Structure 1
């Protein structure tokens, strides 16, 4: 009997371990959440792939400045040889017109050609634009990371505050359950009325409903966080307790244009339009290139080009030279293209000025919001302390029979409200911190 009991316990424990390992559990601090997100988020992965595409485009543009070498070959069967009309005097038939077949039945050719641009202003301008495009792709990756990390950090703090509120309500529910046990005894002994006991039941049900709602909200928020992080939904995500760190504020960094991704993106875009304009204007410049050709040709009446056939001949041809192209008139096409680039650049310049002002406004608003949030947090903390004192006094008075249950329930409700308000103010402080880091371009460096 004992052996069966121990075997059953062992099997149950093994199944429990298997379930836990199958489900998977991960415990993350905020920096670990950010690091995991940067590595696994789908949007970031796609932006990194796009960045790699940009590098390959640069290689493609660079290839136009390198030597272009081509090999070719052909094998021709002349079913009907071309005919040359000549005076009869050349063929022994004076006064008549004679025809001569030109060539042999089969031609064979193997050729190699090389072309190297020596001067092509548009090629070198395109190379500069390609390098700027690489910078553009890198900035887009950074912008994607900033947006994704911002969402992940906000969700992380939301979960932390939800956990805090759940603990508050659970503590109040435990206290209410204890009061219910006491009130049941007091009701049986006739010390309190039924209505007082029912009030406690109503308070308990309200707390249970609030807890249920918060638990559902937390579950949905965790799923959203896992989605942003790129984590499998089957993994059990556990966040570290930030109770001791929650009121530690980050240093507010100054705003500098060098760290502002949107502004840097616009500056690169402006540079690209400038290079695009130069590229169109480069079409008016001459293009000089070096070329070299070599061909090895064979002619024969033998399809196999047999060396024994008297008609088989092989000869090679080679040439080198310079090629110069000078555009003279294109119907003002390049002029129109150049003006389009100039107007696009002017549009970007307007966007740069607006974005710079927008960043300044966002930074000032973020500072004001942070200061207001800190002031509200301090007020909420004072409210919690006062509500706790009132509740402690009400509980003591109730235990000593100096006040009724209604006063105690009112004090408990006020304490719960003050605690939840403090949590909301705390969340607002953390979000204000994130926003000020984002407005200064320091978000990614802070975690």
Structure 2
């Protein structure tokens, strides 16, 4: 089992591109306002609310452990009281108590008490045996393990969401670039056709055709701009930063080679680094779900919850056992006349001690204990059923992610070759036009094919990167979760 990389106790472990506070995101972005993928992951782990909530749950689990220990530790208390009798209480008693010859029915006043009264003591109560309390100590530690796994699983989810949101921004920017190129091409064609119309080379219908095309593409350009803005907002939400912080992402999908282990493109080095942190081998072999069962967050959470439920069952059974406790009391009393002296003098002070044991045996409490035991056993069976369902779901998720990766890998050569041919065709069309051997229509068609090839290649890379992020999550090996320990912002 890998150790959870996000359980922070000292909160002082540095990480690459680490922010120190929420407003410090601008320091990570820098003056150029560029946020790399690894920096985005660090920011998300430091600022995302779900990660912070999971960390708070883990801190609460620490207190639950302390609370469980308090059930078996002694309770010690002390007390002290002082009473000043401003007027000493007087009771009347028969005079014959003091003088047998006194008349019957005669009463005489008698003072009870002194001017000053002191009382103090210390009491200690210790549970010697209570099965539920003893089991509770172990249960609290298992509960903390559940919260630790929950923090790890949350971090895995946030890293995956950050990666996919980051890739969404890249593909949205690429679609915007291609749409801008299309509109600019149509605007140039419109100007050229209008000039040709004035020269009598083309008719008005040719100009009208370009105007219609341009009118159809401009709304698509507006739509692409809004799509980029929306993608940035969604990324900011995952990062846990204010939406008004402006930054740009780094990467070029059209120059990302999914089959290569390295990249020469500076813009894509960060993307390639994260992509290769979890290895993937293209193969037709069956999926190894057993390995994923040891690493997936949801599987590990259910395993710990099952352990916790077993301890709960033991705790309920222990309620049928007797409990034994001990009590010790040490008391002082003092009485003094006149001016008070703290706890009087040695002659007016007395001490007493008591030691007692209490044995309690539950005989009949209705059907509460047996019903609680049955409920806990049913809940344990439910957890076991959830474990089986999660393993089936894990197998499906892993297989789906593998199919997405394999599909991208299998189609990558064709997409890459189509992009190369489109680039070559566009270069040839431009050369033919410059030499008077071709037409503007040939260049336009070649450029259209090039833009389409670029769009298809970028979409293929996006599908691969997104599938890789989902694959890492499905097998439970998400980058930055079980390795470096980033500091969480308060």
Tell me whether the two structures share a fold, i.e. TM-score over 0.5: yes
* 1:166 corresponds to 2:173: no
Q: CA deviation at 1:124?
A: 1.3
Report if aligned partners of 1:88, 1:95 keep a CA contact under 8 Å in 2: yes
1:433 alignment partner in structure 2: 468
How many angstroms apart in 2 are the aligned matches of 1:166 and 1:67? 70
Describe the shift of the 1:200–1:392 C-alpha distance in structure 2 as closer, same or farther (beyond 3 A).
farther
Q: CA deviation at 1:261?
A: 0.9
Q: CA deviation at 1:238?
A: 1.8
Q: Which structure is higher in RCO with an 8 Å CA cutoff and minimum separation 6?
A: 2
Q: How many residues align?
A: 427
Q: Which moved more, 1:352-361 or 1:414-423?
A: 414-423
1:137 alignment partner in structure 2: 147
Pairing partner for 2:280 from 244, 252, 260: 252
Cα-to-partner distance string for 1:2-49 (whole Å, 9 max, x where unaligned): xxxxxxxxxxxxxxxxxx99x976322111110111011122112211
How many angstroms apart in 1 are the aligned matches of 2:40 and 2:171? 16
How many angstroms apart in 2 are the aligned matches of 1:331 and 1:97? 58
Q: CA deviation at 1:283?
A: 1.9
Q: CA deviation at 1:233?
A: 2.7
Report if aligned partners of 1:44, 1:145 keep a CA contact under 8 Å in 2: yes
Pairing partner for 2:206 from 161, 178, 196: 196
Q: Which moved more, 1:326-335 or 1:426-435?
A: 326-335
Cα-to-partner distance string for 1:96-125 (whole Å, 9 max, x where unaligned): 799997952664311111122232222110
How many angstroms apart in 2 are the aligned matches of 1:292 and 1:358? 58
Pairing partner for 1:337 from 372, 385, 398: 372
Q: CA deviation at 1:170?
A: 3.5
* 1:47 corresponds to 2:54: yes
How many angstroms apart in 2 are the aligned matches of 1:428 and 1:93? 116
* 1:276 corresponds to 2:312: yes
2:249 alignment partner in structure 1: 239
Report if aligned partners of 1:24, 1:235 keep a CA contact under 8 Å in 2: no
Describe the shift of the 1:414–1:102 C-alpha distance in structure 2 as closer, same or farther (beyond 3 A).
farther
Q: Which moved more, 1:71-80 or 1:264-273?
A: 71-80
Report if aligned partners of 2:84, 2:117 keep a CA contact under 8 Å in 1: yes
Q: CA deviation at 1:403?
A: 6.3
Describe the shift of the 1:91–1:29 C-alpha distance in structure 2 as closer, same or farther (beyond 3 A).
farther
How many angstroms apart in 1 are the aligned matches of 2:417 and 2:228? 27
1:204-219 correspondence runs (5 A): 204-219=214-229
Q: CA deviation at 1:95?
A: 11
How many angstroms apart in 2 are the aligned matches of 1:367 and 1:47? 30
5+ residue gaps, structure 1: 1-19
How many angstroms apart in 1 are the aligned matches of 2:205 and 2:167? 41
Q: CA deviation at 1:259?
A: 0.6
How many angstroms apart in 1 are the aligned matches of 2:106 and 2:466? 99
Q: CA deviation at 1:378?
A: 3.8
Report if aligned partners of 2:153, 2:296 keep a CA contact under 8 Å in 1: no
Pairing partner for 2:33 from 26, 31, 34: 26
| Structure of larger gyration radius | 1
How many angstroms apart in 1 are the aligned matches of 2:131 and 2:74? 16
Describe the shift of the 1:58–1:87 C-alpha distance in structure 2 as closer, same or farther (beyond 3 A).
farther
Cα-to-partner distance string for 1:335-386 (whole Å, 9 max, x where unaligned): 2222221111111011111111111121112111221233344443344344
Pairing partner for 1:56 from 50, 53, 63: 63
Cα-to-partner distance string for 1:57-105 (whole Å, 9 max, x where unaligned): 2111112222211012234578896979999678737997999979526
Report if aligned partners of 2:88, 2:112 keep a CA contact under 8 Å in 1: no
1:14 alignment partner in structure 2: none
1:155 alignment partner in structure 2: 165
Q: CA deviation at 1:192?
A: 3.5
Q: CA deviation at 1:214?
A: 1.5
1:333-412 correspondence runs (5 A): 333-392=368-427, 395=430, 408-412=443-447
Name the one with the larger helix percent. Answer: 1
With the length of structure 2 as denominator, give the TM-score of the two structures. Answer: 0.75
Describe the shift of the 1:62–1:82 C-alpha distance in structure 2 as closer, same or farther (beyond 3 A).
farther
CA RMSD of aligned residues (A): 3.8
